[in-house]
Amino acid sequence: MLNGPNLNLLGKRENEVYGEFTLQDIENEITKLVEDYGYRLDSKQSNHEGELVDILQAADGEYDGVIFNPAAYTHTSVALHDVIKAISLPVIEVHISNIHSREEFRHKSLLASVCYGQIIGFGKQGYRLAALALLPEQK
Ligand code: DQA
Protein backbone atom coordinates (compact mmCIF):
# COMPACT_ATOMS: atom_id res chain seq x y z
CA MET A 1 0.00 0.00 0.00
CA LEU A 2 1.38 3.37 -0.99
CA ASN A 3 0.13 6.77 0.11
CA GLY A 4 1.19 10.12 -1.27
CA PRO A 5 1.57 13.63 0.11
CA ASN A 6 -0.24 14.78 3.25
CA LEU A 7 -1.88 11.42 3.88
CA ASN A 8 0.39 11.09 6.92
CA LEU A 9 -1.83 13.86 8.32
CA LEU A 10 -5.03 11.81 8.20
CA GLY A 11 -6.95 12.20 11.45
CA LYS A 12 -5.96 15.85 11.85
CA ARG A 13 -6.41 17.05 8.26
CA GLU A 14 -9.78 18.42 7.02
CA ASN A 15 -11.74 15.88 9.05
CA GLU A 16 -15.00 16.86 7.36
CA VAL A 17 -13.50 15.67 4.03
CA TYR A 18 -11.18 12.85 5.09
CA GLY A 19 -12.75 11.55 8.32
CA GLU A 20 -11.30 10.99 11.78
CA PHE A 21 -9.22 7.91 11.08
CA THR A 22 -5.42 7.87 10.78
CA LEU A 23 -3.14 6.25 8.23
CA GLN A 24 -2.13 3.82 10.97
CA ASP A 25 -5.79 2.78 11.36
CA ILE A 26 -5.94 2.01 7.63
CA GLU A 27 -2.64 0.09 7.75
CA ASN A 28 -3.87 -2.00 10.68
CA GLU A 29 -7.17 -2.78 8.97
CA ILE A 30 -5.69 -3.72 5.58
CA THR A 31 -2.86 -5.72 7.15
CA LYS A 32 -5.43 -7.81 9.00
CA LEU A 33 -7.59 -8.22 5.89
CA VAL A 34 -4.78 -9.44 3.61
CA GLU A 35 -3.31 -11.67 6.32
CA ASP A 36 -6.69 -13.43 6.57
CA TYR A 37 -6.10 -14.37 2.91
CA GLY A 38 -2.49 -15.47 3.52
CA TYR A 39 -0.88 -12.31 2.08
CA ARG A 40 1.42 -9.71 3.58
CA LEU A 41 1.03 -5.93 3.45
CA ASP A 42 3.89 -3.47 3.20
CA SER A 43 2.86 0.12 3.66
CA LYS A 44 4.76 3.26 2.68
CA GLN A 45 3.94 6.94 2.60
CA SER A 46 5.89 9.74 0.99
CA ASN A 47 5.39 13.45 0.41
CA HIS A 48 7.87 13.37 -2.48
CA GLU A 49 6.97 12.60 -6.08
CA GLY A 50 10.39 11.16 -7.00
CA GLU A 51 10.38 8.91 -3.96
CA LEU A 52 6.97 7.54 -4.98
CA VAL A 53 8.45 6.82 -8.43
CA ASP A 54 11.43 5.04 -6.81
CA ILE A 55 9.14 2.96 -4.59
CA LEU A 56 6.98 1.87 -7.54
CA GLN A 57 10.04 0.96 -9.65
CA ALA A 58 11.45 -1.12 -6.78
CA ALA A 59 8.07 -2.80 -6.14
CA ASP A 60 7.95 -4.31 -9.63
CA GLY A 61 8.48 -8.05 -9.35
CA GLU A 62 8.46 -7.89 -5.53
CA TYR A 63 4.74 -7.58 -4.89
CA ASP A 64 1.47 -8.84 -6.32
CA GLY A 65 -0.17 -5.44 -6.56
CA VAL A 66 -0.33 -1.91 -5.24
CA ILE A 67 -3.12 -0.03 -3.46
CA PHE A 68 -2.14 3.54 -4.25
CA ASN A 69 -3.55 6.85 -3.06
CA PRO A 70 -1.38 9.31 -5.00
CA ALA A 71 -3.14 12.28 -3.30
CA ALA A 72 -2.42 15.62 -5.00
CA TYR A 73 0.02 14.05 -7.50
CA THR A 74 -2.99 12.30 -9.06
CA HIS A 75 -3.82 15.53 -10.78
CA THR A 76 -0.32 16.62 -11.82
CA SER A 77 2.18 13.81 -12.19
CA VAL A 78 3.30 12.62 -15.61
CA ALA A 79 6.20 10.83 -13.84
CA LEU A 80 3.76 8.68 -11.86
CA HIS A 81 1.72 7.99 -15.00
CA ASP A 82 4.88 6.84 -16.75
CA VAL A 83 6.11 4.57 -13.95
CA ILE A 84 2.72 2.90 -13.49
CA LYS A 85 2.72 2.25 -17.23
CA ALA A 86 6.30 0.94 -17.16
CA ILE A 87 5.88 -1.63 -14.39
CA SER A 88 3.85 -4.78 -14.71
CA LEU A 89 2.11 -4.62 -11.32
CA PRO A 90 -1.63 -4.00 -11.07
CA VAL A 91 -2.02 -0.62 -9.38
CA ILE A 92 -5.39 0.42 -7.95
CA GLU A 93 -5.91 4.16 -7.53
CA VAL A 94 -7.81 5.00 -4.34
CA HIS A 95 -9.26 8.31 -3.17
CA ILE A 96 -10.89 8.73 0.20
CA SER A 97 -13.02 11.65 -0.96
CA ASN A 98 -15.16 11.88 -4.08
CA ILE A 99 -12.78 13.94 -6.22
CA HIS A 100 -15.57 14.61 -8.73
CA SER A 101 -17.70 16.45 -6.21
CA ARG A 102 -14.83 18.73 -5.20
CA GLU A 103 -12.84 21.49 -6.94
CA GLU A 104 -12.53 21.19 -10.70
CA PHE A 105 -8.74 20.69 -10.56
CA ARG A 106 -9.37 17.40 -8.74
CA HIS A 107 -11.69 16.00 -11.42
CA LYS A 108 -8.87 14.90 -13.70
CA SER A 109 -6.60 11.95 -12.88
CA LEU A 110 -3.42 11.61 -14.94
CA LEU A 111 -3.08 8.10 -13.54
CA ALA A 112 -6.47 6.44 -14.01
CA SER A 113 -5.81 5.40 -17.61
CA VAL A 114 -2.75 3.34 -16.61
CA CYS A 115 -4.20 1.91 -13.40
CA TYR A 116 -5.91 -1.46 -13.11
CA GLY A 117 -8.90 0.30 -11.53
CA GLN A 118 -9.99 3.28 -9.52
CA ILE A 119 -11.99 3.46 -6.26
CA ILE A 120 -13.24 6.87 -5.27
CA GLY A 121 -15.34 8.42 -2.55
CA PHE A 122 -15.90 5.59 -0.07
CA GLY A 123 -13.67 6.88 2.72
CA LYS A 124 -11.24 4.40 4.20
CA GLN A 125 -13.45 1.59 2.92
CA GLY A 126 -11.85 2.30 -0.50
CA TYR A 127 -8.59 0.73 0.65
CA ARG A 128 -10.46 -2.40 1.73
CA LEU A 129 -12.29 -2.59 -1.62
CA ALA A 130 -8.96 -2.21 -3.45
CA ALA A 131 -7.37 -4.98 -1.39
CA LEU A 132 -10.32 -7.27 -2.13
CA ALA A 133 -10.02 -6.48 -5.84
CA LEU A 134 -6.36 -7.56 -5.78
CA LEU A 135 -6.83 -10.76 -3.81
CA PRO A 136 -7.07 -13.72 -6.22
CA GLU A 137 -9.84 -15.40 -4.22
CA GLN A 138 -12.04 -12.41 -4.93
CA LYS A 139 -11.77 -12.64 -8.71
C1 DQA B 1 -7.20 12.47 -2.17
C2 DQA B 1 -7.83 13.48 -3.13
C3 DQA B 1 -6.78 14.42 -3.70
O4 DQA B 1 -7.39 15.38 -4.57
C5 DQA B 1 -6.10 15.20 -2.57
O6 DQA B 1 -5.07 16.00 -3.10
C7 DQA B 1 -5.62 14.32 -1.49
C8 DQA B 1 -6.41 13.15 -1.07
C9 DQA B 1 -8.25 11.57 -1.49
O10 DQA B 1 -7.86 10.53 -0.97
O11 DQA B 1 -9.45 11.91 -1.46
O12 DQA B 1 -4.60 14.60 -0.85
O13 DQA B 1 -6.33 11.62 -2.90
pLDDT exceeds 80 at position 138: no
Q: Residue range 103-113: average pLDDT?
A: 97
Tell me the pairing of strands 44-45 and 66-69. Answer: unpaired
Model confidence at 136, in pLDDT bands (50, 70, 90)? confident
Nearest ligand 1 atom to alpha carbon 7: 12
Q: Residue range 92-105: average pLDDT?
A: 97
Please tell me which residue, 21 or 138, carries the higher pLDDT value. Answer: 21
Sheet containing strand 66-69, strands side by side: 44-45, 2-3, 66-69, 91-95, 117-120
Model confidence at 35, in pLDDT bands (50, 70, 90)? very high
How remote is the CA of residue 31 from the centroid of ligand 1, in Å?
Answer: 22
Mutate to test the pocket of ligand 1, among 97, 119, 127 (most ligand atoms within 8 A of CB): 97
Q: Which residues line ligand 1 (CB under 6 A)?
A: 6, 69, 71-72, 74, 95-97, 99, 106
Strands (E) in 1-139, as ranges, are 2-3, 44-45, 66-69, 91-95, 117-120
Active site residues: 18, 95
Q: Residue range 93-101: average pLDDT?
A: 97
How remote is the CA of residue 117 from the centroid of ligand 1, in Å?
Answer: 16
Q: Residue range 59-85: average pLDDT?
A: 98
Cβ atoms 73, 5 nearer than 8 A? yes
| Whole-structure pTM value | 0.96
Query: Of 77, 76, 80, whose CA–CA distance to 105 is shortest?
Result: 76
